[in-house]
Amino acid sequence: MKTTDVDMAIADQISQFYADPLGFVMFAFEWNHGDLVGFHGPDDWQREFLNDVGTAVKDRKFDGVIPVDPIRMATASGHGIGKSALSAWLILWVMSTRPHSKGVVTANTGDQLRTKTMSELTKWHRRCITHYWFEMTTMSIAHVSHSGTWRVDAQTCREENSEAFAGLHAASSTPWYLFDEASAIPEKIWEVSRGGLTDGEPMHFAFGNPTRNDGSFKECFGRQSHRWITKQVDSRTAKMTNKKLIEEWLDDYGEDSDFVRVRVRGMFPRGGDMQFIPGDSVFESMKRGIGRYLGDDPLICGVDLARGGSDNCMIQFRRGQDARSEQVYSIPGEKSRDSMRVVSLLTTVFDRHKPDAIFLDETGLGGPIADRLNQLGYNVVGINFGSKADDSKKYSNKCVEMWWRMREWIMKGGSIYDEIRLERELTEREYWHNDRDQLVLTKKKDMEVSPDWGDALALTFAYVVPKKEVQRGMLDSAIGLRHNLDNVEYDPMDSMTVDY
């Protein structure tokens, strides 16, 4: 690449921003022009963050030889405040002002990394005045002439990929890490990355919704707070957030609910001692993408019947670890009073999906509906939520037993729809033990929101359904497919919940 006088002028100007990331952001992009019309620069919280980074750089006075203390910055926030844009600016600032710097960017899922973090970087890279210095791919950005020593790589945060976070070998420059949705980054990744902060002018930036009450991200604000520059950003204070939606959340959940604390206020959840399914486990289950299953895993359907009113009849499918590939159906309560109409709608759904087993809530009106469906030739098993559990020593009734199995499945890798309604149903239920030491759950009528969807999912755990009999070649093919997909992160599907 031939160097021109213009190139030298730009490089000279960029060098002035070594300790001034805000100055870089204001200089490097054409604010209020082109697709940035109406945007005049970073939001207030972003400006404060960038200024704090600049101050930390000045304080350390790195001379290119003697290592300095790491710059560690952790930001817990609500949704929609502009974390991805700030992450892109930081990446471009480090790359543009620090020759031969090396960075690793990761996120809680491959999908988040690809479609949010790196996608946002691609957008800002195109706008940046130094864009022609660097070549951008889906999962990396590198200097056009020094791609081996001056680069940033996006790495998935699976524990088996931890070696990618080891020492970055940029002793005369800046080795650095950026964690997006840091609450869900495995502890092994945090541990290995600490070893990469021992030379040069190291930096570690961690952003995320504070979904977990434990782990390294939480410790940034607790036991390790003396080592980190921390910020908590309320979504209501950011310019670009959807204020109307936030007001709806406040009305629905309340200012001090864990939902609002995490998703709006940028505060860690209280995580009540009696919460049955941990909020962070539900959050991680929603972000996994399509779950894993084999060719002989049965397709199981759970049907929670409504009794009219505000409750909905919910139809949920699950196959192996996957409860989001098949469509979810919701029949409004006012349309479920006519049992024959419900039977007709259910047969339409069953014929479309052809489940191997159907577990239907037979409480009340459900018994006759289950009988009629069986008369029509469908493999329906009626389940009474209040009946005796298979393990009556441990569970107070069948409902508790099903919810416990669902809880274990969620915490061990199950994948569910990324829907606020489902999240609320799963996280609001509490538990205790009765005088017989049986596990008891909050009754449906005592909950603020009826767990119709949660009950439908729980019904898919009513009993163990045998593996399907498939031809050996078909099963081997399915196993091979799952093996090949082990390192693939799926894009999240759009919500497919429909009302009849």
Q: Is the pLDDT of residue 333 over 80?
A: no
User: Which has the closest alpha carbon to 179: 418, 192, 246?
Assistant: 192
Q: What distance in Å separates the CA atoms of residue 382 and residue 363, rounded to the nearest whole number?
A: 8
DSSP sequence for 252-272: HH-TTSHHHIIIII-------
In a domain, 465, yes or no: yes
In a domain, 332, yes or no: yes
The CATH number of residue 103's host domain is 3.40.50.300
Total domains present in the chain:
2
Name, in order, each residue with C-beta under 8 angstroms of 160's C-beta and a sequence gap of 6 or more. Answer: none
Q: What distance in Å separates the CA atoms of residue 75 and residue 12, rounded to the nearest whole number?
A: 32
> Higher-confidence residue: 259 or 210?
210
Tell me, yes or no, whether 192 and 311 share the same domain.
no
The CATH number of residue 302's host domain is 3.30.420.240
DSSP sequence for 45-84: HHHHHHHHHHHHHHHH---SSS----EEEEEEE-TTSSHH
Between β-strands 357-361 and 300-304, what pairing exists: parallel, antiparallel or unpaired? parallel
Between β-strands 102-107 and 229-233, what pairing exists: parallel, antiparallel or unpaired? unpaired
Tell me, yes or no, whether 314 and 438 share the same domain.
yes
User: What is the percentage of the chain residues whose pLDDT exceeds 90?
Assistant: 65
In a domain, 123, yes or no: yes
Q: Is the pLDDT of residue 480 over 70?
A: no
Name, in order, each residue with C-beta under 8 angstroms of 170's C-beta and a sequence gap of 6 or more. Answer: 100, 101, 102, 149, 199, 200
Q: What distance in Å separates the CA atoms of residue 244 and residue 235, rounded to the nearest whole number?
A: 12
User: Which has the closest alpha carbon to 300: 284, 285, 315?
Assistant: 315
In a domain, 291, yes or no: yes
| Residue-number span of the structural domain to which 448 is assigned | 283-499
Q: Name the burial class of residue 336, with classes exposed (0-12), middle (13-18) and buried (19+) by CB atoms within 10 angstroms of its CB.
A: buried
User: What is the percentage of the chain residues whose pLDDT exceeds 70?
Assistant: 92
Tell me, yes or no, whether 177 and 306 share the same domain.
no
Q: What is the pLDDT of residue 442?
A: 87
Q: What is the pLDDT of residue 272?
A: 57
Confidence of residue 489 (pLDDT cuts 50, 70, 90): very low
Q: What is the pLDDT of residue 112?
A: 87
The answer to whether the beta carbons of residues 206 and 217 sit under 8 Å apart is: yes
Tell me, yes or no, whether 224 and 300 share the same domain.
no
Task: Give CA angle at 8 (7, 12), nearest 5°.
Answer: 120
What residues are paired with 180 via a beta bridge? 107
The answer to whether the beta carbons of residues 391 and 261 sit under 8 Å apart is: no
Q: What is the pLDDT of residue 475?
A: 38
Q: What distance in Å separates the CA atoms of residue 88 and residue 24, rounded to the nearest whole number?
A: 12
Average pLDDT, the chain: 88
User: Which has the closest alpha carbon to 309: 332, 292, 286?
Assistant: 332
In a domain, 262, yes or no: no
Which strands, in side-by-side order, build the sheet including 102-107? Answer: 134-137, 140-143, 151-154, 102-107, 175-180, 203-208, 71-77, 229-233
Q: Is the pLDDT of residue 177 over 90?
A: yes
Question: Which pTM was predicted?
Answer: 0.65
The mean pLDDT of 390-398, rounded to a whole number, is 94
Tell me, yes or no, whether 374 and 472 share the same domain.
yes
In a domain, 304, yes or no: yes
In a domain, 121, yes or no: yes
Q: What is the pLDDT of residue 2?
A: 61
For the segment 284-309, what is each residue's pLDDT rounded down to a tens digit? 899 888 888 888 999 999 999 976 66
Tell me, yes or no, whether 201 and 332 share the same domain.
no
Q: What distance in Å separates the CA atoms of residue 464 and residue 461, rounded to the nearest whole number?
A: 7
Where do we find the tokens 């030889």? 65
> Higher-confidence residue: 146 or 436?
146
> Higher-confidence residue: 462 or 428?
462
User: 368: which 2 tokens?
Assistant: 């006759």
Tell me, yes or no, whether 138 and 34 share the same domain.
yes
DSSP code, position 435: T
The answer to whether the beta carbons of residues 197 and 93 sit under 8 Å apart is: no
Q: What is the pLDDT of residue 453?
A: 95
Name, in order, each residue with C-beta under 8 angstroms of 472's C-beta and a sequence gap of 6 or more. Answer: none
In a domain, 72, yes or no: yes
CB count in 10 Å sphere of residue 460: 27
- The angle, 0 to 180 degrees and rounded to 10, between the axes of the packed helices 366-375 and 339-353 is 50
Tell me, yes or no, whether 288 and 437 share the same domain.
yes
